Amino acid sequence: MSNVVTSEKMWTLDTQSATALVACGTPVYIKKLVLKPAGRNDSVIIQEYDSSGSARTGIVIAGDGVDTKIQQMDWNPSRRLNGMILSTLTSGATLYVYFGEPGE
Protein backbone atom coordinates (compact mmCIF):
# COMPACT_ATOMS: atom_id res chain seq x y z
CA MET A 1 0.00 0.00 0.00
CA SER A 2 1.11 3.58 -0.32
CA ASN A 3 0.02 6.87 1.22
CA VAL A 4 -3.59 7.78 0.48
CA VAL A 5 -3.88 11.57 0.48
CA THR A 6 -6.91 12.11 -1.76
CA SER A 7 -9.41 13.07 0.96
CA GLU A 8 -9.48 16.52 2.53
CA LYS A 9 -10.65 15.09 5.89
CA MET A 10 -8.50 11.97 6.48
CA TRP A 11 -5.24 10.62 5.12
CA THR A 12 -3.90 7.08 5.52
CA LEU A 13 -0.10 7.12 5.67
CA ASP A 14 2.15 4.06 5.63
CA THR A 15 5.24 5.37 3.83
CA GLN A 16 7.64 8.00 5.16
CA SER A 17 8.92 10.68 2.84
CA ALA A 18 11.83 13.09 2.92
CA THR A 19 9.80 15.52 0.82
CA ALA A 20 6.81 17.51 1.97
CA LEU A 21 3.30 16.10 1.82
CA VAL A 22 2.17 19.72 2.26
CA ALA A 23 4.40 22.60 1.16
CA CYS A 24 6.05 25.16 3.42
CA GLY A 25 3.76 28.14 3.95
CA THR A 26 0.59 26.07 3.71
CA PRO A 27 -1.22 25.71 7.04
CA VAL A 28 -2.25 22.21 8.06
CA TYR A 29 -4.84 21.75 10.83
CA ILE A 30 -4.71 18.33 12.48
CA LYS A 31 -7.63 17.30 14.67
CA LYS A 32 -6.54 13.76 15.50
CA LEU A 33 -3.78 11.23 14.85
CA VAL A 34 -4.28 7.49 15.15
CA LEU A 35 -1.22 5.23 14.99
CA LYS A 36 -1.78 1.55 14.27
CA PRO A 37 1.64 0.12 15.09
CA ALA A 38 2.97 -3.16 13.68
CA GLY A 39 5.45 -3.44 16.57
CA ARG A 40 5.41 -2.19 20.15
CA ASN A 41 8.14 0.41 19.57
CA ASP A 42 6.90 1.84 16.27
CA SER A 43 7.18 5.60 15.96
CA VAL A 44 6.17 8.55 13.82
CA ILE A 45 7.76 11.97 13.44
CA ILE A 46 5.86 14.66 11.59
CA GLN A 47 7.93 17.70 10.71
CA GLU A 48 6.78 21.21 9.87
CA TYR A 49 8.70 24.27 8.69
CA ASP A 50 10.00 27.07 10.88
CA SER A 51 9.97 30.75 9.88
CA SER A 52 13.24 30.36 7.94
CA GLY A 53 11.88 27.42 5.88
CA SER A 54 13.88 24.73 7.69
CA ALA A 55 12.19 21.46 8.68
CA ARG A 56 11.78 20.83 12.41
CA THR A 57 9.95 18.26 14.53
CA GLY A 58 6.30 19.20 14.95
CA ILE A 59 4.66 16.06 16.38
CA VAL A 60 5.91 12.72 17.71
CA ILE A 61 3.66 9.73 18.36
CA ALA A 62 4.93 6.25 19.30
CA GLY A 63 3.90 2.81 20.49
CA ASP A 64 3.92 2.25 24.23
CA GLY A 65 6.80 -0.25 24.22
CA VAL A 66 4.62 -2.97 25.79
CA ASP A 67 2.25 -4.11 23.04
CA THR A 68 0.85 -3.04 19.69
CA LYS A 69 -2.27 -1.25 20.87
CA ILE A 70 -3.49 1.73 18.89
CA GLN A 71 -2.13 5.13 20.00
CA GLN A 72 -4.11 8.36 19.58
CA MET A 73 -3.54 12.09 19.91
CA ASP A 74 -6.44 14.58 19.84
CA TRP A 75 -6.44 18.38 19.70
CA ASN A 76 -9.21 20.84 20.41
CA PRO A 77 -8.77 23.27 18.76
CA SER A 78 -6.94 21.62 15.88
CA ARG A 79 -3.14 21.64 15.93
CA ARG A 80 -1.71 24.02 13.30
CA LEU A 81 1.44 23.10 11.39
CA ASN A 82 3.32 25.05 8.72
CA GLY A 83 3.47 22.43 5.95
CA MET A 84 3.90 18.74 6.71
CA ILE A 85 6.63 16.13 6.20
CA LEU A 86 6.26 12.52 7.36
CA SER A 87 9.98 12.12 8.11
CA THR A 88 9.73 8.94 10.22
CA LEU A 89 7.22 6.09 10.07
CA THR A 90 8.30 2.67 11.25
CA SER A 91 7.84 0.03 8.55
CA GLY A 92 4.52 -1.80 8.85
CA ALA A 93 2.82 0.92 10.89
CA THR A 94 -0.11 2.97 9.61
CA LEU A 95 -0.90 6.55 10.61
CA TYR A 96 -4.38 8.01 10.16
CA VAL A 97 -4.45 11.81 10.04
CA TYR A 98 -7.82 13.52 10.62
CA PHE A 99 -7.88 17.15 9.53
CA GLY A 100 -9.79 19.96 11.17
CA GLU A 101 -10.42 23.62 10.45
CA PRO A 102 -8.94 26.78 12.03
CA GLY A 103 -10.41 27.19 15.52
CA GLU A 104 -12.18 23.83 15.37
State pLDDT tens for residues 14-31: 999 989 999 999 999 999
SS (H, E, C) 24-83: EEEEEEEEEEEEECCCCCCEEEEEEECCCCCEEEEEEEECCCCCCCCEEEEEEEEEEEEE
- Single pTM value for the model: 0.94
Residue 1's pLDDT is 62
Amino acid (one-letter) located at 31: K
| All domains in the chain, ordered by first residue | 10-99 (2.60.120)
Q: How far lies 88's CA from each of 2, 77, 95, 103, in Å?
A: 15, 25, 11, 28
